[in-house]
Amino acid sequence: MTSQTATALGKLGHPDGELNLTKAAAKHGVIQMIPTLASCAFDELVDAAQPGQVQFLQLYVNKDRAITKKFVQHAEKRGIKGLFITVDAPQLGRREKDMRQKFEAEDPAEVTGNNQESKVDRSQGAARAISSFIDPGLDWKDIPWFQSITKMPLILKGVQCWEDALQAYDLGLAGVVLSNHGGRQLDFSRSGIEVLVEVVRELRARRGLSFPNEKFQLFVDGGVRRANDVLKAVALGATAVGVGRPFLYAFSSYGFEGVDHALQILHDEFEMNMRLLGARTLKEVVPEMVDASSLQSHIVAVPGDRLYDSNYESMQHARLREVKSKM
């Protein structure tokens, strides 16, 4: 019910980058979603997987579809079990924290197509430096093309409304990821758990679907910090929940051991919370266990980012110099 969702540039936090996630996922039986913009080579991460270990691929679609086709078909040959096509990043949001950081790592040219390092603009932060290849014209009419080049299940990542989830179902896709891209794209966009409630309601009413559903799966990521976050999503109809930042923090501080410990904490919490809920199996984790009535009540004030404030030096403000007059 828990997977490692795609997070880019792992080596900015630890020399082994996403390999920490691959190893920990194998130990704990958790699915790893390999990001297009991983700092480790794709084949390196697949080679590091244990026999039978399940890996997904998150895809940013290249303007040059030949590059995308080659990458997707190579992933399928290597045994990737699901293709998660990101649809909420036709342009990256203004990530001011990211823009303040220095970035000197190499561009992952095998998927971006930027084989000449001089093409990469590093003045706007790491994310923008390596994302200029993303096709902003990606549209629903491209879905048949993806269906023609691979037999992998296709999932749209970054869906924010029930209408898009319904269209994805009608087009024969395997599912959607309800996500606001970690809150870094459009300010005040709704959380995945909030969208989940209306997607389940509308697809039940309009297509007679019940969730969780093997034919059309609903994934949620963003804001997952504890096992009770996972259980809330499962109770409301999610197939699985993606965890991102907690694992980034864990391996940036402690490498593989950090992710290993984080997953053990989640496992222990999951077992404890199910006992406290009185649920012996996941089938007994039902919507009635979650009060979702306040999901539509939004807090107007923007919360402070204590993690950022405690780790980075604040911007200095201009000060007026006091001038003493001579009498």
Q: Which of 28, 181, 261, 317 is catalytic?
A: 181
Determine the pLDDT at residue 125.
60
User: Which range is least confidently modeled, 58-62, 101-105, 113-117?
Assistant: 113-117
Tokens of 40: 């480790």
Task: Please indicate if the annotation marks 280 as binding a ligand.
Answer: no
| HSE-up of residue 254 (Cα within 13 Å, Cβ side) | 10
Evaluate whether the domain defined by 2-298 bears CATH number 3.20.20.70. Answer: yes
Confidence of residue 277 (pLDDT cuts 50, 70, 90): very high
Closest among 30, 11, 1 to 260, alpha carbons compared: 30
Determine the pLDDT at residue 153.
97
pLDDT at 173 over 70: yes
Burial class (CB in 10 A: 0-12, 13-18, 19+), 162: buried
pLDDT at 133 over 70: yes
Closest among 55, 53, 6 to 242, alpha carbons compared: 6
How far does the chain reach from its first CA to its final CA, in angstroms?
77
Task: Please indicate if the annotation marks 184 as binding a ligand.
Answer: yes
Determine the pLDDT at residue 115.
45
Determine the pLDDT at residue 89.
85
d(CA 199, CA 111): 32
Confidence of residue 101 (pLDDT cuts 50, 70, 90): low
The full set of domain ranges for the chain reads 2-298
Task: Please indicate if the annotation marks 58 as binding a ligand.
Answer: yes
Closest among 44, 56, 54 to 20, alpha carbons compared: 44
**Which helix (H) or strand (E) is 272 found in, with range?**
helix 245-277
Determine the pLDDT at residue 182.
78
Determine the pLDDT at residue 120.
55
d(CA 197, CA 237): 8
Tokens of 49: 């997987």
d(CA 298, CA 279): 30
Query: Can 28 be counted among the known catalytic residues?
Result: no
pLDDT at 285 over 70: yes
Q: Please indicate whether residue 288 or residue 325 has the higher confidence score (pLDDT).
A: 288
Q: Please indicate whether residue 51 or residue 187 has the higher confidence score (pLDDT).
A: 51
Say whether 283 sits in a helix, a strand or coil. helix
Confidence of residue 165 (pLDDT cuts 50, 70, 90): very high
Q: Please indicate whether residue 141 or residue 188 has the higher confidence score (pLDDT).
A: 141
Helix, strand, coil share of the chain (percent; to 5): 45, 10, 45
Average pLDDT of the chain to the nearest whole number: 87
pLDDT at 27 over 60: yes
Q: Please indicate whether residue 120 or residue 28 has the higher confidence score (pLDDT).
A: 28
Tokens of 5: 């969702």
Mean pLDDT to the nearest integer, 275-289 = 94
Farthest-apart Cα atoms in the chain, separation: 87
Burial class (CB in 10 A: 0-12, 13-18, 19+), 271: exposed
- Residue-wise pLDDT for 199-237, tens only, equals 999 999 999 999 989 999 999 998 899 999 999 999 999
The four Cα atoms 33, 192, 220, 60 give a dihedral, to 10 degrees, of: -30
Task: Please indicate if the annotation marks 179 as binding a ligand.
Answer: yes
Task: Please indicate if the annotation marks 100 as binding a ligand.
Answer: no
pLDDT at 316 over 70: no
Whether 129 contacts 101, CB under 8 Å:
no
Confidence of residue 298 (pLDDT cuts 50, 70, 90): confident
Contacts of 136 (CB under 8 A, 6+ apart): 90, 91
Determine the pLDDT at residue 322.
67
Determine the pLDDT at residue 210.
94
Closest among 220, 174, 175 to 194, alpha carbons compared: 220
**Which helix (H) or strand (E) is 169 found in, with range?**
helix 162-170
Mean pLDDT to the nearest integer, 254-266 = 95
